[in-house]
Structure 1
């Protein structure tokens, strides 16, 4: 058995190494050259991405766009939560009312989750153009897919004893959901929602470059005009905002779990 595991490990290492070399050969990527130029890239970053005194005057505009991005991410997450909650009820084996609705809910979750948010932004861009609605819808669709899958798993893991007890007393469907299922799943659901907000704020930056909105558009504008000092301030603001929101989310998770 030990020998078999040893050979399996060697096989997987060789397989991964072969796939890496084959990918490098197909794409024309030189791994050695990439590693050699890495120190130069780090040097360029620390030499050019510096926040100057003049750049601080742009901070109010940057913070305004950053707030716009954060609010859009929260809006997309909260509205996506409402849709994902009902899809989660439909898709769960515990609360599902029919197999057809369960398959439909899981299909919607699979499609919206497996297509990247950036791809959704490009698809919606053709219909809605470059505006905040496109960015919101892209984040909304991604949120629905991820949260639906998370909610289905959370509901399926809930204890069946409380559900069966209420069913035995003749409780209605919504009484069972809100008296037995939701109280058990609420901490996990809130945790997933907070995680989705953090993820959407990161994704909204990239989506904003495509849709011409929020902090992503500001970053892209300064980058294309070679204003690297402003780019550094935008990057620093994004990193700081993400860290603060993550700390707040972690604190809330500790309180509710």
Structure 2
């Protein structure tokens, strides 16, 4: 019996591998992508990067202005995430089977999260750009709307996984809806909710760079400005600053997660 199962799994893996190879080959033909040409030109691309994107002493004089824009991006990401978390908490409570008031509100909360989540942040930025123009508000709203979809979904799943015993015990004593949420649901879910919020902040800081290129704000605008003027030395400094900032925030976020979980 075990031999039959092993052979079956081998055949399944072989078929899957053949399908993936065929799909990759077909995609290369459709998109006119030459993998061999890409591999052979890779050393030349690396040489161009290391010869043109060097951080010089003169480039470092732009660092204060770059850090100002970087801080603007960080604060905008944090503001968008925290305000979205408040709305997502309400939608999560409405959408969860544990804490929902009725099916209509639950369906509405899940539908709202689905629409927000299935459109990428860049698409939201382009849509909002038509209404609000190139400014910080547009960047904030794009990150805010995108965050609501993701946070609502994970909040619903987190609340659904909470222990039902404490909820049922409070219901048996005649506790109100808000007492059940405050005493039974939130205390159980709070560490995971905070962890997801921290993860969303990290994600939004990365996304804010691309959103900033579209909305003309933050570090994304600075990157786009120097890139279009072909000042690659400053582009290298901007890129390096973004990478270091994201790593530092990720380390802080991981440390906070270890403390609360």
CA drift of 1:216 comes to 0.2
Match of 2:124 among 110, 113, 120: 120
RMSD: 0.7
Q: After alignment, is 204-213 or 25-34 more displaced?
A: 25-34
Distance (whole Å) between structure 2 residues aligned to residue 233 and residue 103 of structure 1: 47
Q: How big is the shift at 1:226?
A: 0.6
1:215 to 219, 229, 237: 219
1:199 equivalenced with 2:200 (yes/no): no
Secondary structure of the residue aligned to 2:99 is coil
Name which of 41, 47, 52 aligns with 2:45.
41
Unaligned runs of 5+ in 2: none
Paired residue for 2:184? 180
Q: State the partner residue of 1:74.
A: 78
Paired residues in the alignment total: 257
The equivalent of 2:170 in structure 1 is 166
Q: Is 2:202 the counterpart of 1:232?
A: no
TM-score calculated relative to the size of structure 1: 0.99
Aligned partners of 1:92 and 1:40: how far apart in 2? 53
* Deviation digits for residues 114-143 of structure 1 (CA, Å, limit 9, x no counterpart): 111011111111111111111111100111
Unaligned runs of 5+ in 1: none
Match of 1:91 among 72, 78, 95: 95
Q: How far apart in 2 are the matches of 1:95 and 1:66?
A: 39
More moved, 30-39 vs 146-155: 30-39
Question: Partner residue of 1:242?
Answer: 246
Report the Cα offset of residue 110 of structure 1: 1.0
TM-score by length of 2: 0.97
Q: Deviations over 1:42-91 (max 9, x none)?
A: 22111111100001110110000000000000000000000000000010
Q: Counterpart of 1:256?
A: 260
For each residue in 1:2-21, what CA deviation from the matched residue of structure 2 results, as whole angstroms up to 9, or x when unmatched? 22211111111111111111
Instruction: Give runs of ≥4 in structure 1 deviating > 3 Å.
Output: none
